Chain A
Amino acid sequence: MTPRALIAEDEPLLLQGLRAELQAQWPELQIVAAVGDGDSALREALQQRPDVCLLDIRMPGASGLEVAQALAEDWPAGEPLPLLVFITAYDQYALQAFDAQAVDYLVKPLQPERLAACVQRLRARLAERARADEPQALQQLRALLAAAGAAVSERLEVIQAGVGNVVHMVPIDEVVYFEAADKYVRVVTREREHLIRMSLRELLPRLDPQRFWQVHRGLVVRARSIASAQRHESGKVTLTLRERPEHLTASRLYAHLFKGL
């Protein structure tokens, strides 16, 4: 079977260069999508289901890491996850995290020998790729995301949600969960919900990770509000809440949070 790849790189010349170099070193690789932003990368990857994704870290739309996170969550259950290679020009912290997790990465400017080594590794892993690899891949990704989100800003104690001329002051302890909604975040309490003009990405470092658990890339739940968690075949987990009737779904990337003692 021909291996298939997706490349996401926002600088046109670099995309062109990587594509040419990759084709020279790995002629049988079929490049099914070459995109310039994170959102297109996610869309194309889910549609084309490539075996390998080469993702630039700094891209418009979602970053390379965010694309990887979304892929791990939305990839169809039962299908092996694509192999991930991250590309970065200079990002000390990311490089340290990649090194620590033995994740494949390429540094720009691209060195042909470095790319050759990467191609060799990808080939070997594709040949032996099996379902058994997946927990390790997820584990690596979890560690990367944790390293990327390590920056802590001042904790929020009160959420200020504006509606027209009124600002609702919502104490952080009354929040049952936060849900991403495009550029906004839905703030859901026992009785009602508010919309704040802030992305979940901006909000996350300001929440106490002990009290609020991220269970999906778009969902952060107060730990004390979770009544029960039910695991599914697919790796996902359904959460029931104490204060709210609706069920929430935790992705397999965060399923490890819910283990019986």
Chain B
Amino acid sequence: MSDAAAPAAAGAPWRWLLWLWHELRIGLPIALIAAVFISTMFRDPFGRTLIYSLCIGLSIQFLIESGRHLGSAWRRRRDPAWAALGSQWPGWVLMGPWSAGSAVIGYFGGSLLADALTGLHHTRNPLGSDLRPLSLILMLSLGFTISAVYFFYSRGRLAALQAATEAAQRSAAEAQLRLLQSQLEPHMLFNTLANLRVLIGADPARAQTMLDRLIAFLRATLAASRSGTHTLADEFARIDDYLSLMAVRMGPRLAVRIELPDALRELPVPALLLQPLVENAIRHGLEPKVDGGRVEVSARRDGDTLVLAVRDTGVGLAADAAARDGHFGLRQVRERLATLHGARASLALTASPDGEGGALATVRLPLAAAP
């Protein structure tokens, strides 16, 4: 993390010491190198040069760092989008001129401070005659300034990059968790278990079949949450598991039709892509309807596009469109499609075109570039 954030994480008594260390470990070595360099060049006593060098170096650093923090604070307040990046670097436009100014002001300010400390009058008058050593020292201090500023700049950038990477990882983990949560809907899980509990007493053989379906579904769900792909045949088998569980629960209220042409069986698809759509067809289409209805899942090829369709003969979209569209399931399918194929894949939710009513969800995936 950046130097501003690191001390904040530490305990209160160490905060300022840590901050000071973060600052000085840059300024001190630079001042030391400058002192060695100048005392060799001008054959000045090292001790005195070191005092000047420290005063000048730390003054410059103080000015630059103040400007950087003030600049960051100012930009954070003005630009919330920038603030969200967590950067400590207000940009070269602001920091370039400020650093140059800091170098000049810091040089004279630091020299005067060193004069006061040593009791000497070593500060060269900027309007005086002896300009060559002055300009050399100014150039030197400017050079050190630029390297120091660049150091801070790269460190800030690195910290911001790290923060961005961590945020991306976090959001990926969150998406994975949400996917898992949406697929392991507790209402579905507990109702299925309740049915199993009754079946174990009434019809153990059927209970066993149902349990096997549940196991296959749970296994696939956990695997899919780690964002894999599987074949279309697998996808349809898992959808069949889910619908079989629902058929036990809903009894005669649910009819199922699944159609997968043999030619498409081996095509790869994102795992459990269709599951939220099937769940929606039941939850929003058939569950509210007293007589229930039918769910159809089908796949076909349309040129170089794979078309997957989930339709129901339920209550239809008009009554409950808002609830369905805001549903996490639909958004999640759209996001997965967009991540994998961009604009070349799509999901459309429409009213079923025939007289039977209900809703139709259609997924279109590019065939050639299927993952």
- Residues in chain A within 8 A of chain B (CB atoms): 10-14, 16-17, 36-37, 39-40, 58, 60-61, 89-91, 107-110, 183, 197, 199, 202
Query: B81 at the A/B interface (Cβ < 8 Å)?
Result: no
Known contacts: A37-B290, A60-B289, A60-B290. The answer to whether A13 contacts B195 by CB under 8 A is yes
Known contacts: A11-B251, A12-B251. The answer to whether A108 contacts B194 by CB under 8 A is yes
Q: Would you call B187 and A14 a contact (CB within 8 A)? A: no
Listed stretches B1-9, B103-111, B197-205, B268-276; interface member: B197-205
Closest partner residue, chain B, to A91 (CB atom): B187
CB-defined A-B contacts under 8 Å, sample of 30: A10-B250, A11-B195, A12-B251, A13-B195, A13-B248, A13-B249, A14-B195, A14-B198, A16-B198, A16-B202, A17-B194, A17-B197, A17-B201, A17-B202, A37-B290, A58-B287, A60-B287, A60-B290, A89-B186, A89-B187, A89-B191, A89-B194, A107-B190, A108-B193, A108-B194, A109-B190, A109-B193, A109-B194, A109-B197, A110-B197
Query: B288 at the A/B interface (Cβ < 8 Å)?
Result: yes
Query: B318 at the A/B interface (Cβ < 8 Å)?
Result: yes
Query: Which residues of B148-199 have CB atoms within 8 Å of chain A's CB atoms?
Result: 186-187, 189-191, 193-199
Q: Would you call B318 and A108 a contact (CB within 8 A)? A: no
Q: Would you call B199 and A13 a contact (CB within 8 A)? A: yes
User: Complex: how many Å from CA A206 to CA B252?
Assistant: 36
Q: B201 to chain A: which residues have CB within 8 Å?
A: 17
Q: A108 to chain B: which residues have CB within 8 Å?
A: 190-191, 193-194
User: Complex: how many Å from CA A90 to CA B198?
Assistant: 18
User: Complex: how many Å from CA A107 to CA B201?
Assistant: 19
What is the size category of the interface that chain B forms with chain A? 20 to 34
Query: What is the interface of chain B mostly: helix, strand, loop, or mixed?
Result: helix
Q: Quick one: which of A13, A60, A202 has the most chain B CB within 10 A?
A: A13
Quote the shortest CB–CB distance from A8 to chain B (angstroms). Answer: 12
Query: B84 at the A/B interface (Cβ < 8 Å)?
Result: no
Query: B116 at the A/B interface (Cβ < 8 Å)?
Result: no
Quote the shortest CB–CB distance from B291 to chain A (angstroms). Answer: 8
Quote the shortest CB–CB distance from A86 to chain B (angstroms). Answer: 14
Quote the shortest CB–CB distance from A207 to chain B (angstroms). Answer: 16
Q: B190 to chain A: which residues have CB within 8 Å?
A: 89-90, 107-109
Give which listed residue, A14, A61, A183, A199, contacts B194 with CB less than 8 A: A14
Q: Quick one: which of A89, A107, A110 has the most chain B CB within 10 A?
A: A89
User: Complex: how many Å from CA A59 to CA B322?
Assistant: 20
Query: B93 at the A/B interface (Cβ < 8 Å)?
Result: no
Q: Would you call A13 and B187 a contact (CB within 8 A)? A: no
Q: B136 to chain A: which residues have CB within 8 Å?
A: none
Q: B319 to chain A: which residues have CB within 8 Å?
A: 183, 199
Q: A17 to chain B: which residues have CB within 8 Å?
A: 194, 197-198, 201-202
Q: A16 to chain B: which residues have CB within 8 Å?
A: 198, 202
User: Complex: how many Å from CA A89 to CA B249?
Assistant: 13
User: Complex: how many Å from CA A239 to CA B18?
Assistant: 73
Q: Would you call A58 and B197 a contact (CB within 8 A)? A: no
User: Complex: how many Å from CA A89 to CA B190?
Assistant: 6
Query: Which residues of B239-254 have CB atoms within 8 Å of chain A's CB atoms?
Result: 248-253
Closest partner residue, chain B, to A12 (CB atom): B251
Closest partner residue, chain A, to B198 (CB atom): A17
Closest partner residue, chain A, to B322 (CB atom): A202
Give which listed residue, B198, B253, B288, contacts A13 with CB less than 8 A: B198
User: Complex: how many Å from CA A199 to CA B250?
Assistant: 25
Q: Quick one: which of A14, A40, A109 has the most chain B CB within 10 A?
A: A109
Quote the shortest CB–CB distance from A217 to chain B (angstroms). Answer: 18
Q: Quick one: which of B190, B191, B251, B292 has the most chain A CB within 10 A?
A: B191
Quote the shortest CB–CB distance from A114 to chain B (angstroms). Answer: 12
Q: Would you call B289 and A11 a contact (CB within 8 A)? A: no
Closest partner residue, chain A, to B203 (CB atom): A13
Q: B250 to chain A: which residues have CB within 8 Å?
A: 10-11
Query: Which residues of B52-76 have CB atoms within 8 Å of chain A's CB atoms?
Result: none
Query: Which residues of B254-288 have CB atoms within 8 Å of chain A's CB atoms?
Result: 287-288
Q: A10 to chain B: which residues have CB within 8 Å?
A: 250, 253
Quote the shortest CB–CB distance from B121 to chain A (angstroms). Answer: 74
Q: A13 to chain B: which residues have CB within 8 Å?
A: 195, 198-199, 202, 248-249, 251
Q: B288 to chain A: which residues have CB within 8 Å?
A: 60-61
User: Complex: how many Å from CA A11 to CA B198?
Assistant: 11
Query: Which residues of B193-241 have CB atoms within 8 Å of chain A's CB atoms?
Result: 193-199, 201-202
Quote the shortest CB–CB distance from A99 to chain B (angstroms). Answer: 17
Q: Quick one: which of B187, B198, B290 has the most chain A CB within 10 A?
A: B198
User: Complex: how many Å from CA A108 to CA B193?
Assistant: 8
Quote the shortest CB–CB distance from A224 to chain B (angstroms). Answer: 29
Q: A61 to chain B: which residues have CB within 8 Å?
A: 288, 290
Q: B248 to chain A: which residues have CB within 8 Å?
A: 13
Q: Would you call A11 and B249 a contact (CB within 8 A)? A: yes
Quote the shortest CB–CB distance from A134 to chain B (angstroms). Answer: 31
User: Complex: how many Å from CA A36 to CA B254?
Assistant: 14
Q: Which 5 A-B pairs have the closest CB atoms?
A: A17-B198, A109-B194, A108-B194, A12-B251, A90-B186
What would 10 more interface pairs be, CB under 8 Å, given A39-B290, A60-B288, A202-B322? A11-B194, A13-B199, A60-B290, A60-B292, A61-B288, A61-B290, A89-B187, A90-B189, A108-B191, A109-B196
